[in-house]
Amino acid sequence: FHSPNQNPSSEPQHEPQQTPLELGFSLPAEWTPHAATWTSWPADDEVWFGQLEGVRLEFAELVKTIARFEPVHLLVRDPEAEADARARLSDTENLIFHRIPLNDVWFRDNGPLFITRGQEQGQELSLTNWKFNAWGEKYDWQLDNAAPEAVAQYLKISHWDVDMVLEGGSLEQNGRGVALTTRQCLLTKERNPTLDVAQIEEALRQNLGIQKLLWLESGLEGDHTDGHIDTITRFINETTIVTVMCSDPLDANFAMSQHNLEYLKTFSDLEGNPFTIIELPLPLKYLEMEGHRLPPTYANFYIGNGFVVVPQYSDPNDTIALEILRPLFPNRQVIGLSSRAIINGGGSFHCVTQQQPMGEGIL
């Protein structure tokens, strides 16, 4: 547990402190009121396979859309990135820039997971800083791993550093103690080779307040995150789950989605009540980048204050996905935005954002 003025690497070792669970903190649902959204500006043309211009165009629309509804904290890694972002977003209000060195933009995974205590009025805010290793050391990650500490310093809040690799996109939870994940992701040896299922579940319970972890087997074909749950299956409220379905029996995603659907039908909340399951199609078109399959999905939407942004891929199922999702969010504008360039990096809107809940920081 660190105050915002501590340097964890220089601190002496102490006896274990109380965990977030013991102090009454837990991970709130994404649809609870936000103080802001955090995201990062794309900056490396090589990382984006020469598609950086298109990616920045789509990022600009995403940031502008979110900023209509809530403040946006935008991380920029160097002078060029900051100048480019400021030029493209010159007419955007509700925008705060932060110069923080970064390897990439997937802030859902390398950023902090915010936790809260108490009711909305007088709610207290803290964060958990998990280790990030670029989905099993697939890419450079050392700079990205330092981002949560920078956020804590800016917000001037004490927080917990957790000695376990975990990405935000690997968990989907309902704010009432139940979370979803995949075995393909959380049990990979490249993340936490010494931890078993029970130890992982206990770490999530103590640090995020997750009382019941529900395991699906695997995620999308071509997903370099090893099956992140936020590309396939999402809570939209405490009792309702949206899950992707593939219509092509010859596609590897067909068996995956069918198996996951059968699992979901057997799952229940803390009181034993089954969840309502809504099926969401995957895009019809098969997308590749440099010979590698991409994982386009409409499940990677982001829920904010009064809005939901849904990725679109110039696909016949784009409109169908919006028609399915709109009635599920009656009090929010469901907005489709292009993610055809962003998906070349392997993710979409939920992957690049992280919500900051309402609340005053603890010191």
Q: Which residues are catalytic?
A: 351
Q: Quote the CA–CA distance of 239 and 355 in Å, as a whole number.
A: 21
8 A C-beta contact, residue 158 and residue 114: no
Show Cβ contacts of residue 313 under 8 Å, excluding neighbours closer than 6 positions: 283, 285, 287, 296, 338, 339, 340, 343
Closest-CA residue to 362 (of 22, 16, 118):
118
In the numeric block, the tokens 């915002």 are attached to 4
H or E stretch at 64: helix 52-67
Triad 6, 29, 122: Cα angle to 5°: 60
**DSSP secondary structure, 199-248, as one string:** HHHHHHHHHH---EEEEE----TT-TTSS-GGGTEEEEETTEEEEEE---
Q: What is the distance between the terminal CA atoms of the chain, rounded to a whole angstrom?
A: 11
Tell me the H-state helices in 241-317. Answer: 252-266
Helix (H, G, I), strand (E, B) or coil at 111: coil
Q: Quote the CA–CA distance of 216 and 115 in Å, as a whole number.
A: 24
8 A C-beta contact, residue 233 and residue 242: yes
Q: Quote the CA–CA distance of 353 and 330 in Å, as a whole number.
A: 22
